């Protein structure tokens, strides 16, 4: 359409966003037929791997706010995919768990998502995948540690 590739395509930041966007799109595409969204899947997957997570912890893990995760959890509870105790066993934290139905629902979604991830990595060698792991972890660490002002 217009001239292409000035220098956006060499910016790792832009490429990162691009890759993340493409991944999300691909996930939405395979999850839609299952009546599932990315956030829903993320929540269920999180609960499968870390049973008893609280609303706030789930929110952080799925990269949304506590409020958003709360409405999602209410929906999931209404549909019988997760259960939360009516009252907090300790403090205010309501530990959430998957129901058998939730686990079953997750299974299909998980397979679909895994296929997307496989596709994403299909063009990469094993050592490239290992490098990607190390590189991404490094980026995250640098970004998280950074915001702090240069301490004395």
Contact criterion met (CB below 8 Å) for 59 and 72:
no
Out of DNA, a second copy, none, what residue 32 binds, judged by CB under 5 to 8 A for its kind, is none
Buried b or exposed e, range 52-71, using 16+ CB within 10 angstroms: ebbbebbbebbebeeeebbe
Q: Which of 86, 90, 143, 149 binds a second copy (CB under 8 A)?
A: 143
Binder of residue 68, out of a second copy, DNA, none (CB less than 5 to 8 A by kind) = DNA
**Cβ-contact 96, 82 below 8 angstroms:** yes
Stretch that binds a second copy, among 45-53, 65-73, 75-83, 99-107 (CB under 8 A): 45-53
Least distance to DNA from the beta carbon of 73, Å? 7
Copy the structure tokens of residue 68: 């958003």
Residues making contact with DNA (CB under 7 A): 1, 37, 39, 54-57, 63-68, 70-72, 88, 90-94
Note whether 44 and 109 are within 8 A (CB). yes
Q: Does 31 bind a second copy (CB under 8 A)?
A: no
Number of H helices, E strands in the chain: 6, 2
Return the residue of 92, 142, 149, 150 that touches a second copy, per CB under 8 A.
Answer: 142
33 binds, among a second copy, DNA, none (CB under 5 to 8 A by kind): none
What is the SS3 string spanning 87-142? Answer: CCCECCECCCEECHHHHHHHHHHHHHHHHHHHHHCCCCCHHHHHHHHHHHHHHHHH
CB of 68 to a second copy, least distance (A): 14
Contact mark string toward a second copy, 59..78, x via CB under 8 A: --x-x---------------
């Amino acid at each position: 359409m217009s001239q292409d590739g000035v220098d956006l395509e060499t910016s790792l930041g832009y490429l990162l966003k691009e890759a993340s966007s493409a991944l999300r799109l691909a996930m939405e595409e395979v999850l839609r037929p299952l009546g599932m969204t990315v956030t829903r899947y993320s929540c269920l997957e999180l609960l499968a791997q870390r049973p008893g997570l609280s609303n706030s912890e789930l929110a952080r893990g799925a990269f949304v706010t506590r409020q958003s995760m709360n409405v999602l959890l209410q929906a999931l509870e209404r549909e019988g995919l997760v259960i939360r105790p009516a009252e907090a066993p300790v403090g205010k934290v309501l530990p959430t768990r998957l129901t058998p139905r939730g686990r079953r629902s997750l299974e299909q979604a998980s397979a679909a998502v895994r296929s997307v991830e496989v596709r994403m990595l299909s063009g990469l060698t094993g050592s490239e995948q290992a490098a990607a792991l190390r590189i991404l972890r490094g980026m995250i660490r640098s970004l998280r540690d950074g915001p702090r002002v240069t301490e004395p």
